[in-house]
Amino acid sequence: MVQNKIVVRYQDGRLLKGMTSDFFPNKNTFHMLPMDAPPASKPLELSADNLKAVFFVKGFEGNPDYKDKKEFDSNKAPVGRKIRVVFRDGETMVGTTHGYQPDRPGFFVVPADPNSNIERCFVVTAATREVKLM
């Protein structure tokens, strides 16, 4: 079973890092094994209700000083529709999407910056202030 490295951000600012193998955008709950969990621990069951986003990441360390670029490489055609998401907390994400529909509980965004630590992000629609297809 594929294990995905994720960072879960709640709307209240809390953050969890760990692994999941059962995240599906059409299900409200999924399981995550926190990265600092002792061996043989049971995964936590998480609900998307209070989440801001689920970030599928390349690594847990990241680079806190790195700021993702908010524009696309003009030499490469983007795959998918360009999108700009402003979260309720003011954070902005620019990338591409294949499945944004405002009436759905969430959607995936792939960051415009190829050097981002984020491979893709599941954005919870309720945690957004503005979503604009570009």
Residue-wise pLDDT tens digits, 89-134: 999 999 999 989 999 999 999 999 999 999 999 999 999 999 999 9
Strands (E), 40-117: 44-47, 51-57, 81-87, 92-97, 106-111
Mean pLDDT value across residues 8-34: 95
70: left (phi over 0), alpha (psi -120 to 50) or beta: alpha
Q: What is the pLDDT of residue 67?
A: 87
Check the CA dihedral 107-25-55-96 and report its sign: negative
Mean pLDDT value across residues 24-52: 93
Q: What is the pLDDT of residue 74?
A: 83
**What pLDDT digit, counting tens, does each position of 55-83 carry?**
999 999 878 888 898 888 888 888 899 99
- Asked if 54 and 47 touch (Cβ cutoff 8 Å), the reply is no
CA 96, CA 80: separation in Å to the nearest integer?
A: 5
Q: How confident is the model at residue 50 (pLDDT cuts 50, 70, 90)?
A: very high
Which two tokens mark 21?
């193998």
Mean pLDDT value across residues 27-42: 93
Please give the model's pTM, rounded to 2 decimal places: 0.93
